[in-house]
Structure 1
């Protein structure tokens, strides 16, 4: 941090000295001048070596400024759910600070499950305030890669399977973070849809699927959200690595989308200097080097955009056009972040941030099933509550990869339940199963020791006996953030629950009919016991306020209003990527041992094309376990008849659909009205329906509200790869409005002339 202090002091001294001598400031330091003019002035004053130094890391998480000119360095940080703890300058090991604990916010799957754009802005603003307080300039997130398979270990960091939902939820998040003068780095651009072979795969996807499914959220992030940076992915596309990919970075991002921001590499994603120079990368992080191979003591000088680039320029093999473009982008970022004198100071661990974390958690929890309305828990009839399952006592903010956090506190489910119900009921706990007993990731320690040497049968018997003696049973299980579960670096090994939880849940269902199964996960899981269990709650990873948010929903203090951002298939084979596509890669190449290194990448072909998630299930009429958009409430809602303001539209017109939503129950609650568009006759294969609008409405008992959706021909269009353009074919369409992809309540037909 010493370097940063020196840089800031230089700016102050320069300004003070100039004013004392009654001379005008240099243009690049003069706030009254247009930013682009200031950028060009700063660029003209920089040496070749100073420009090169800006393009690559100087430590694990920082890159150089220009100290001579008072241009500060950049400090980056993971991650999308909370600000990562400090690490040592040149190492991944923890720095051992005592003031870098933060509030953990719910994982992005939980945020997306709120289907509430206001919640997304609140999330981003609070996260940005904590990053700003910690003097971070770039947050490495949010993630918007599409949920293609429920085995992807990193799905919990993303926003689900639908490009429209993800696009609408990511924009306010970005705007909230950047309102603090902290840049987002939307990631991972692009097709990072699995962790297995992420460094050694070449993704084959047709242009239609690329533009309709995998690019829209990134486009929204940079064209609507104005994300000041974007992070490249590890995988290859068109046989070029994504962080140095001409088609993705030059042709699409900076060409078609006119992106003026900074492209940051994922850590260690760069492997070729000339491709990095010419194919759109601006800032290189995490490249491996031993610091010795070029006879240097400073490893960072050996990065691909460091001395190798400098030598190519000095030898005349490459020019400086690309260099000046990269530095211009970095200076543009500096004026929004490090050199922005109007940015706020931020704050950390505030009561407001705790409240935001809890509210997002409550709104994101999804009530999947509630047969017999046994939730919320009726304390008039419930005097003894059994809480069973390891996830009720396991810290979940530690682990999972780069989003692992060091938190000020984490309220565990058992603690939240005891806090809420303990004064009125006897709450007792049984472990039920032993899963991951570890408590450390990258030096972040949970402080827990969950070792239990009892046998599986002993644990199950104890849990079942407690269930029999109790009035109500809450099972808290699911996945965790250990390797091969919801974690960066590897995918899940199977769709089923680990640690023999299926047998335990089935036994608990026989022992007590008042059973609520709470799944803590960022992924769909198989539920072979679903018909035996009356109530299932999708609890996600909810951060610091996890236990309190969960208890509020179980008690009915908060009426659940979350909706699934992805489909739960009954079995893995019902997922299109597993039925049609290649996962984890081409079978013949897998058998031949490909994918073990970057010299022998494995091909992964997305044969399912545009038919991802509910697009596949609904089109092929494959019944899901739980559908996209599904989520129940403790009250009931009624949809009126949908109306359209016209029956025919021209190519330049808009059409507005309205529907009245009424709370017909006895509790206040929120419903999400979802608009899907169906092309009734198309010359190309199209999904049965596609989400094109959603709105969350809060209603008191008996209250009604009219919800409206206005769309234009873009909502009717598909991407024509041959024309490389969006096409809306004239003909008949249908607007379908409901509260899940498989729960359409009302329809109205219209035509495009």
Structure 2
């Protein structure tokens, strides 16, 4: 059954039943039509299959599975191939356990470091988020297991997530918060998409026809099934009408009467119900066919565990290294912090995995003659014990180097609530400062799901960011510390100096029914660079044990004049050669940024447009070639409701981070549609003269018919100084002001408005 086709074979009751789950994890089956159930399971960085009492907060038991690094960690790899591999591995595990659809990846934009679920999300940047999520989905669905990217859309905080409204303008919505979802639909065609709990501009996303129908299906071409987040449904008939196909979990038919009543009153059309039921049935058929026809691959948790270790290695970010890393086997190393024996490797909530085998650093210390461990502090809370602090200080006296495993307790960040600050527990900061006072090299290893403040940053000699690195993180960080593996992670989010610096800080109380996204498009590095704010560590930043040299950036522009309507047309290729000039093999993340220099509308200083993670042996060189299309140069015009770019200059830059750009090239573009574009302002008495003079359609008429009135008002005799004043005043002068100042009548104002409307109609 294909998306509503042959829905007449279903009874009304069967249609209604299909649009709601049978239980917590499965859809309804219709035996007489051979429609079988579809089986869902939580992800996204592991399989959380429950066979007993079900829940969506990770509190009840689930089957043992591999816990891979969380989304925040995986994003730091900037490695599409790694995400494909993890998706494939999860697909095999789903096959082995009879799961049809894995709920993931989680791909909301990191608007604020305070969001309690940031550990699950990829990045503050929509390019990174979309590309890595698409790779994950491609890997998962290559094993014939459906993905369910979530949470669609603009679900960027946990506090009051069930009913708060994310109030955002359309340009920001399109460029920042929907962009990544558009990418995964275009590049990966997920089988399902999960809509979020929150409202978008006052309308629940599960009832938002503009979001689910006009944008997702009609504009982007999504052909799969839209499912609700668990418990997100507010008004089921409105949801069906909006195109939200499947309500999860099942609630025993509690919405059946509401649907029947809506059908009877004509509020809900049966054709709308047919469409939703048909899509749920089509998903069930697809899953059933894959179970029957696809060869089930073998799944070895032991082998997958090794993959989890390798993945964690590629996610670790070296933030600081004052020639103290890697550690040498003969050095006396003191390890401090209870995270050494109890690593923080995953977050709390629906993504919580019953891990197969958790690797700890303590296990390795036990077999390493020159390493020693003391607790120093408790990992689970902020409780200060002077005895533990003094024990650490005493042990540190005998060490050559000190490695402190610090981080956030699980209670600090989880699904369901947000953080109120960015600080580590006070006892951890105190311990680090006390150890630095001993004037020995101190290396801090961080385990946290989101940025933290580092008041001791300048006092320590080394910093490694692990994020939540999955069950293999203990082995991975040991290999990194001792140089068996080379750190290659890069920050997929900015680490600000302090909480007050973040763009959403003024309006981010986390306790409001209405959340104003007043920072607009200036999220993450886009904001810090526009404000010229110094940060702790910039977006894209990360160090290595080797060094890379960049060659010349070679840009080959296919065409200068292009049309904004042809969004997928290739504009140029940008190629650069990178060489490993160090003595260790390593991975480099090459980042391509674009800066719009047309100055027609506000833009960030630069925006990431593509990236590549490349592996190089010592002395090896590789060329990286990026391809940019028309869409890469576009911004979203909320007035015309379309993507647009302006004729003018654009800077391309390649480098190691958003603040370390090594090669640049300037290009020029001409928009072939510029002379055919309607004015981006309402044609009424409030229209400004500056807009009329700037637009090619209205410029000549305005100069001839309107400026004489202005000169009558401001005078003809002007010198250089008054000419500048005249020009600026005219720019922001509405037509109606000429009436208010007595140089134009109401009739003349409306005549001008009518003439300009006529000109625009003739042009279109």
- C-alpha contact 2:549 2:579 (8 A) present in aligned 1: yes
**1:128-167 matches, cutoff 5 A:** 128-167=91-130
Partner Cα separation in structure 1 for residue 58 and residue 603 of structure 2: 50
Contact 2:237/2:262 (CA < 8 Å) preserved in 1? no
Q: 1:410 to 1:676 in 2, by over 3 A?
A: same
Q: Matches of 1:643 and 1:361 in 2, distance apart?
A: 34
Distance 1:93 1:256 in 2: 34
1:197-216 residue CA offsets vs partner (Å, 9 max, x unmatched): 21131111111110000001
Change beyond 3 A, Cα 1:57–1:648? closer
Contact 1:644-1:658 within 8 A present in 2 as well: yes
Distance 2:69 2:536 in 1: 24
Q: 2:273 — aligned with what?
A: 323
Q: Would you say 1:566 and 2:503 are equivalent positions?
A: no
What are the Cα deviations for residues 473-499 of structure 1, in whole angstroms up to 9, with x where unaligned? 2111111322xx221011112111124
How far did residue 512 of structure 1 move? 5.0
Q: Deviations over 1:138-176 (max 9, x none)?
A: 111101100111111100101010001111111110011
Match of 2:400 in 1: 471
Give the one of 52, 65, 80 matched to 2:16.
52
Aligned-partner Cα distance in 1 for 2:177–2:152: 9
Q: Could you state the TM-score of these two structures normalised by the residue count of structure 2?
A: 0.83
Please tell me whether the aligned partners of residues 51 and 63 of structure 2 are also in contact (alpha carbons under 8 angstroms). Answer: no
* Partner of residue 518, structure 1: 445
Q: CA deviation at 1:133?
A: 1.2
Note closer, same or farther for the CA distance 1:514–1:345 as it changes in structure 2 (3 Å cut): same
CA distance in 2, matches of 1:520, 1:92: 24
Inter-partner Cα distance in structure 2 for 1:672 and 1:95:
38
Once residues 610 and 478 of structure 1 are traced to their aligned partners in structure 2, the CA distance between those partners, rounded to angstroms, is 31
1:555-591 CA-partner distances (Å, limit 9, x unpaired): 1111111110000001112211115xx1025xxxx6x
Report SS of the residue matched to 1:736. strand
Q: Secondary structure of 1:519's partner? A: strand
Partner of 2:296: 345
Structure 1 pair 348–512 and aligned structure 2 pair: CA distance change class (3 A): farther
Unaligned ranges ≥5, structure 2: 563-568, 671-764
Q: Which residue of structure 2 lines up, in the alignment, with residue 79 of structure 1? A: 43
Q: Aligned equivalents of 2:636 and 2:59: distance in 1?
A: 49
For residue 496 of structure 1, what is the aligned residue in structure 2?
423
Give the aligned partner of residue 432 of structure 1: 376
Deviation at 1:622, TM superposition (A): 1.1
Give 2:342's aligned residue.
394
Matched, 1:539 2:491: no
| Correspondence for 2:252 | 300
Alignment of 1:122-133 (within 5 A): 122-133=85-96
**Correspondence for 2:611:** 694
* Kept in 1: contact 2:595–2:652 (CA 8 A): yes
Q: CA deviation at 1:695?
A: 1.0
1:315 to 1:622, Cα distance in 2 relative to 1, 3 A: closer
Q: Aligned with 1:414: secondary structure? A: helix
Alignment check: 8 A CA contact 1:366 1:562 kept: yes
Partner Cα separation in structure 2 for residue 169 and residue 648 of structure 1: 29
- Given that 1:736 and 1:745 are in contact with CA atoms closer than 8 Å, whether structure 2 keeps it comes out as yes
| Residue aligning to 2:508 | 583
Q: Distance in 1 between matches of 2:516 and 2:120?
A: 23
- 2:626 matches 1:662: no
Match of 2:194 among 223, 226, 231: 231
User: Could you tell me which residue of structure 2 aligns to residue 750 of structure 1?
Assistant: 667
1:608-644 per-residue CA deviation (whole Å, 9 max, x = no partner) reads: 1000111111222211100100010000111122121
1:172 counterpart residue number:
135
Cα distance in 2 for partners of 1:650, 1:183 equals: 41
Among 354, 358, 367, the alignment partner of 1:410 is 358
What residue number does 2:516 align with? Answer: 605
Which of residues 303, 310, 325 in structure 2 aligns to 1:359? 310
Shift of 1:51: 1.8
Deviation at residue 225 of structure 1 after TM alignment = 1.0
Structure-1 residue corresponding to 2:5: 40
Partner of 2:237: 274
Deviations 1:4-31 (A, max 9, x none): xxxxxxxxxxxxxxxxxxxxxxxx7xxx
* Partner SS, residue 186 of structure 1: coil
Say if 1:607 and 1:455 are closer, same or farther in 2 by CA, change over 3 A: closer
The residue number in structure 1 matching 2:158 is 195
Q: Tell me how large the CA RMSD over aligned residues is.
A: 2.2
1:462 aligned counterpart, secondary structure = helix
C-alpha deviation, 1:399, in angstroms: 5.2
- Report the secondary structure of 1:543's partner residue: coil
Q: Name which one, 1 or 2, has greater alpha-carbon Rg.
A: 2
CA contact (8 A) 2:586 2:616 kept: yes
- Tell me the distance in 2 between the aligned counterparts of 1:355 and 1:147: 30
- 1:283 matched to 2:246: yes
How many residues align structurally? 663
Give 2:638's aligned residue.
721
Contact 1:56/1:284, CA 8 A, preserved across alignment: yes
